[in-house]
């Protein structure tokens, strides 16, 4: 039920790009992305709906492949403030039971 994210952890230098993948074994209605900094609550980044509608956030974008039941989060020109744990979350076609992914720890160093 829980989406699987890859990689589990990544370290970047400032200015580098990163891709975080989220894969689900269940059909997806929508995919949500959140970032959680250490000791803080998760913060909403992005929602991707079935049919391609997307809401974005600054230099972060995402894709949603409904057939493959996968989503990818793209972080370009990473900044120190991008550090944190990224979670994808899925909503099924029916029902409202929300499942967060396994998480990806991202660290940006100077």
Partner 1 sequence: KAGVTQTPRYLIKTRGQQVTLSCSPISGHRSVSWYQQTPGQGLQFLFEYFSETQRNKGNFPGRFSGRQFSNSRSEMNVSTLELGDSALYLCASSADSRTEAFFGQGTRLTVV
Contact between 29 and partner 1 per CB under 8 A: yes
Task: State which residue, 18 or 91, has the beta carbon closest to partner 1.
Answer: 91
Structure tokens at 12: 């970047």
What part of residues 75-94 is at the interface with partner 1 (CB under 8 A)? 87, 91
Establish if 44 lies at the interface with partner 1 (CB under 8 A). Answer: yes
**Contact with partner 1 (CB under 8 A): which of 43, 77, 80, 109?**
43
52 interacts with partner 1 by CB under 8 A: no
Q: Tell me how crowded residue 15 is: count the other CB atoms within 10 A of its CB.
A: 11
CA 107: distance to chain centroid?
15
Binding status of residue 96 toward partner 1 by CB under 8 A: yes
How far apart, in whole angstroms, are the C-alpha atoms of residue 82 and residue 6?
17
Retrieve residue 65's tokens.
């492949």
* Helix, strand, or coil (residue 82): helix
**Minimum distance of partner 1 from residue 14's CB (angstroms):** 27
Cβ–Cβ under 8 Å, residues 4 and 100: no
Total residues binding partner 1 (CB under 8 A): 22
Position among 2, 65, 79, 93 found at the interface with partner 1 (CB under 8 A): 2
């Amino acid at each position: 039920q829980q989406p699987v994210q890859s990689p589990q952890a990544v370290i970047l230098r400032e200015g580098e790009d990163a891709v975080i993948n989220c894969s689900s074994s269940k059909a997806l209605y929508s995919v949500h992305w959140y970032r959680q900094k250490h000791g803080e609550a998760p913060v909403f980044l992005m929602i991707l709906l079935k049919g391609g509608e997307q809401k974005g956030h600054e230099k972060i974008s995402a894709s949603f492949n409904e057939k493959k039941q996968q989503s990818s989060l793209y972080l370009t020109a990473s900044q120190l403030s991008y550090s944190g744990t990224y979670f994808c979350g899925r909503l099924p076609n029916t029902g409202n039971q929300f499942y967060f992914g396994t998480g990806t720890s991202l660290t940006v160093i100077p």
